[in-house]
Amino acid sequence: MISDVRVPKISLIATALGVVICLIGMFVDPARTAAAYLVAYMSCLAVVLGNLAMIMIARTTAATWFVALRRQAEQVTATLPVFAVLFIPILVALPVLYPWTHAETIALPVRELVQQKTAYLNVPFFVIRAIVYLATWIILGELLRRGSLAQDHGDTAGIERHMRVTSAVGLVAFAFTVSFAAFDWMMSLAPAWYSTIYGVDYFAGAMVGALALLAVLVARGRWRHELPDSVDADHFHSLAKLLITFVLFWVYIGFSQLIVIWSGEIPIERSWYVVRMRGGWELLGGVLVAGHFAFPFLALLVREFKRSVAAMAFLGAWLLAMHYLDVYWIMMPDTPRGSAIGYWLDLGSLLLVGGAASATWAYRRAGESPIADGDPAIDASLGYLTD
């Protein structure tokens, strides 16, 4: 059975290489290794979660155009269980990552602020919440995947309704879990600081990353002739229109957070931006404004760009890189730093998480139809036209 399933060698090599680099890092600089791993984990997880949200949004709204692409997204969310496994190293590294695990050692006056939050920020409750988040996403992902695969073998109408209800309820659960996961796993790196829009900011980046990955995967499917030719410029056009929406949403949310804090000028709130506006971080911020907003925004205004498979595949790959840098900029300044092999650890962590996720993706999608054949709307979706 296992011999039938082909997992690409490159995924396995990447994972192995990543494991080696991270193991070396654990002995050289454990704190920096943990930080690099957490950034890689959160950026890859965001892309998968964005795909989960996309499936639920499309199911809830009965979006016709997305039916032809939905299987590609479902195969991405099939990697969610491996993210539960990949979370274990983060649990091991809790003490080196999160200052609130040893609040008594933080300098005053920040210590008092953090100690007031220990009813929420403590290790047992953190672990329980993490289990709840991961379980919620895996259950939603598997339910939606299983339903869609069952539709391939008939009984479409009953499943259709079940999927819509699951998605509508799932979106509410998704909104809470993703927002709180961002608070727990990312924002608590700086435990005294807070921003209520933080979870939405993570979600905005997740949707950009998810649509970017879909553009790459659909282009790949076209070039390998896995997808029919009727998945064409009109589908890329729709994908691109949604992508420009979320590029704008990302910059809007990011700017909202900045303008509120900049106007308020409250020391504990502004500390987050003070760190990010010096020491080279301001350059990375500039790269993000140009590469995560200005360039994709201008490119996606052009009709021919949106309808070109090659152009959208390129932009997808570009935005995935930008998405990683975005998560890096959000998280890394608040983690222990200063290692000579830091960038190697970043690369190794990305290889580990990306390799493991892509291997899972290849393993679980083997033998599946690349499009949702059994969906009642599949013919309408394949013939979808837009302008």
Partner 1 sequence: MRDRTWSAGAYLAEFSSPAELKSAVRELSTRGYTGLETYSPVPVECGIRRSYSPLPVVVFLAGLFGGIASYAIQWYANAYAYPLDIGGRPPHAVPAFIIPTFEGTVLCAAIAAFIGFFVVTRLPQPWHPVFEIDGFERATVDRYWLAVDASDRRGAPDLTIRELRALSPLRIVHLEAES
Q: Dihedral sign for Cα 82, 180, 174, 219, please.
A: negative
255 binds partner 1 (CB under 8 A): yes
> Which CB sits closer to partner 1, 149 or 248?
248
Using alpha carbons, list the distances in angstroms from residue 338 to 18, 27, 90, 96, 358: 20, 15, 20, 14, 30
Token representation of residue 18: 């990543």
Question: Does 297 help bind partner 1 (rule: CB under 8 A)?
Answer: no
The region of 9-17, 139-147, 148-156, 252-260 touching partner 1 under the rule CB under 8 A is 252-260
User: Site for partner 1 (CB under 8 A): how many residues?
Assistant: 7
In the complex with partner 1, which residue's Cβ is closer, 301 or 380?
Answer: 301
Residue whose CB is less far from partner 1, 115 or 245:
245
Binding segment for partner 1 (CB under 8 A), chosen from 42-50, 141-149, 206-214, 261-269, is: 261-269
| Binding segment (CB under 8 A) for partner 1, from list 112-120, 134-142, 254-262, 326-334 | 254-262
Q: Which two tokens stand for residue 295?
A: 């360039």
Question: Whole-number minimum distance, CB 298 to partner 1, in Å?
Answer: 9
**294 interacts with partner 1 by CB under 8 A:** no
Q: Does 120 bind partner 1 (CB under 8 A)?
A: no
| 123 vs 274 by CB, closer to partner 1 | 274
Q: What are phi and psi of 11, to 5 degrees?
A: -65, -45
- Tell me how far the alpha carbon of residue 266 is from its chain's centroid: 31
Q: How far is the CB of 259 from partner 1 (least distance, A)?
A: 5
Least distance between partner 1 and beta carbon 217 (Å): 29
* Count of all residues that appear for the chain in the document: 387
Q: What is the largest CA-CA distance in the chain?
A: 64
Question: Would you tell me the crossing angle of helices 342-365 and 30-61 to the nearest 10 degrees?
Answer: 40
Question: Both tokens of residue 242?
Answer: 């949604």
16 binds partner 1 (CB under 8 A): no
Which of residues 16 and 298 has its CB atom nearest to partner 1 in the complex? 298
- When the beta carbons of 254 and 333 are compared against partner 1, the nearer one is 254
Q: 187, 342, 201, 337: which is closest to 272 by C-alpha?
A: 187
Select the span of 38-46, 55-63, 198-206, 256-264 touching partner 1 (CB under 8 A): 256-264
Contact between 96 and 31 (Cβ < 8 Å): yes
Binding to partner 1 by residue 262, rule CB under 8 A?
yes
In the DSSP assignment, the letter for residue 231 is S
DSSP string, 110-135: HHHHHHTTTTTSSHHHHHHHHHHHHH
Count CB neighbours of 244 within 10 A.
Answer: 18
**CA 386/CA 62 separation, integer angstroms:** 16
Q: Which of 119, 154, 225, 263 binds partner 1 (CB under 8 A)?
A: 263
Nearer to partner 1 (CB atom), residue 135 or residue 259:
259
Task: State which of residues 85, 301, 310, 321 lies at the interface with partner 1 (CB under 8 A).
Answer: 301
Nearest residue (CB) to partner 1, 109 versus 383: 383
265 lies in the binding site for partner 1 (CB under 8 A): yes
CB of 75 closer than 8 Å to CB of 368:
yes
Residues that bind partner 1 (CB under 8 A): 255, 258-259, 262-263, 265, 301
